[in-house]
Amino acid sequence: MDRRKGRAVVVGGSIAGLSCAHALIAAGWEVVVLEKTCAPPKGSPTGAGLGLDPQSQLFLHSWLASPDLLHTSTIPLEIDQNQVTDSEKKISWTLTRDESFNFRAAHWSELHSLLYKSLPSNVVLWGHQFLSFQTSHDRASVRAEAKVLQTDEVVEIVGNLLIAADGCLSAIRQHFLPHLKLRYSGYAAWRGVLDFSGNENSDTITGLRRVYPDLGKCLYFDLATGTHSVLYELQNQRINWIWYISQPELELKGNSVTMKVSNAMIQKMHEEAEMVWVPELAQVIKETKEPFINVIYDCDPLENLFWDNVVLIGDAAHPTSPHGVRSTNMSIVDAGTLGQCLERWGLNELGSALEEYQSIRLPVVSKQVLHSRRMGRIKQGLDLHDRKVFDPMMATLEECEELQQRKMPFFGYAPSPSD
């Protein structure tokens, strides 16, 4: 088997791209990551929380400089609880509760920092905006062009493999699938992180812990009629919240599904929160600085995850709605699986490695994307062709069981090349 060292060019320096860098370096490859932002984030004003499943945790442990780093930078999510709020009476009760959830809660910017600081210093090229790529006639190499934003110089980077980790609006995916459009879910999400450090004994936090007594170890899904929210605690005294609101599709600007918001929009959102949620949750929402809007999209499963020596991973491969807590986890497992396949086959059998990666990951992510879509529509009280609209106020036990995260296909473990 050929053991020449391959070279990969990764487009996108978010968690998916950095995970790819780790996985491929572990497989014996050289890696260059092109990232258009000019420096590592020092904290993200629109960053938010995410949940890491056990399989992702295993990959992260293997990549980080110290196995304790992940544990000390996250907190446990041991419980997955769905509950309903009566907006008129301002009372809540449990619909379903899973006490063996075994996820961990992280902040985006802190997980990103852990991954970046554990990489060699020369791997990520900051301030390099990807422009285009071209595959050689013999399909043995690919040349990427990027603009150095500080100088406007256009540079070429050549590798054996181009990895598209450039997100749900991927320019590389669009090259191969120019007519593919993302699918608007019918709702958008207000979200934010409340930093209560120094105010842990305030009326707001005391009241919130009284109403949500398992904060610090529980992922709460709170359902009201025609809407739902997510709530959980992050390390260093922060509360992460998300609130999904059905509405016509918003107009996006730039290459992002995140929108800036006006003071008038925030004020209206605060007023609506008081009408829908218990006062304790509404107060947390009102005290959060710089809340923002994510417009929720996904995409029907693709038929391919690679073309010649160009491969998609993360949101570029499977834009997904957030209700199955899958996006980051799929990105990490994509990267880990790709690395394992490349190590298994070697550079001389690159095509076989990519075929195996696709054969392993495509069935998994396809089912998870569609299940996540279904969970979102159920919890948001939207139509589904095979069931009546879910009413959390009148739900049966059987209907409530469908809300659990462990109903996600491949919830416990997704296949790997060694299986």
Does the structure show a pLDDT above 80 at 253? Answer: no
Cα(196)–Cα(273) distance, integer angstroms: 20
Would you say residue 1 has pLDDT above 50? no
Gap between the Cα atoms of 408 and 317, Å rounded? 19
Write the CA distances from 185 to 22, 74, 244, 323, 331, integer angstroms. 33, 30, 11, 12, 21
- pLDDT, tens only, 293-313: 999 999 999 999 999 999 999
pLDDT in tens, 14-53: 999 999 999 999 999 999 999 999 988 875 545 688 999 9
Residue 388 has pLDDT above 70, yes or no: yes
pLDDT value at 350 more than 90? yes
Q: How confident is the model at residue 197 (pLDDT cuts 50, 70, 90)?
A: very high
> Taking 70 as the threshold, does the pLDDT of residue 2 lie above it?
no
> Which tokens hold the place of 155?
């540079």
Alpha carbons 83 and 224: distance in angstroms, whole number = 9
Residue spans of the domains in the chain: they are 7-41+118-181+299-381
Angle, helices 327-345 vs 54-63, to 10°: value is 60
Which residues fall within 8 angstroms of residue 167, CB to CB, at 6 or more apart? 12, 14, 16, 314, 315, 316
Q: Which pLDDT does position 251 carry in this prediction?
A: 82
Percentage of the residues of the chain whose pLDDT score is greater than 90: 88
DSSP string, 285-341: HHH-SS-EEEEEEE-PPPS-SEETTEEE-GGGT----GGGS-HHHHHHHHHHHHHHH
Q: Which CATH number fits domain 7-41+118-181+299-381: 3.40.50.1370, 3.30.1330.40, 3.50.50.60, 3.40.470.10?
A: 3.50.50.60
Q: What is the pLDDT of residues 52-96, one digit of tens each?
A: 999 999 999 999 988 799 999 999 999 999 999 999 999 999 999
DSSP-assigned beta bridge partners for residue 8: 31, 161
CA-CA-CA-CA torsion sign (322, 328, 333, 334): positive
| pTM of the entire predicted model | 0.95
Q: What is the pLDDT of the chain when averaged over all its residues? A: 94
Task: For residues 334-351, give the mean pLDDT.
Answer: 96
Residue 139 has pLDDT above 90, yes or no: no
244, with CB counted inside 10 A (0-12, 13-18, 19+), is: buried
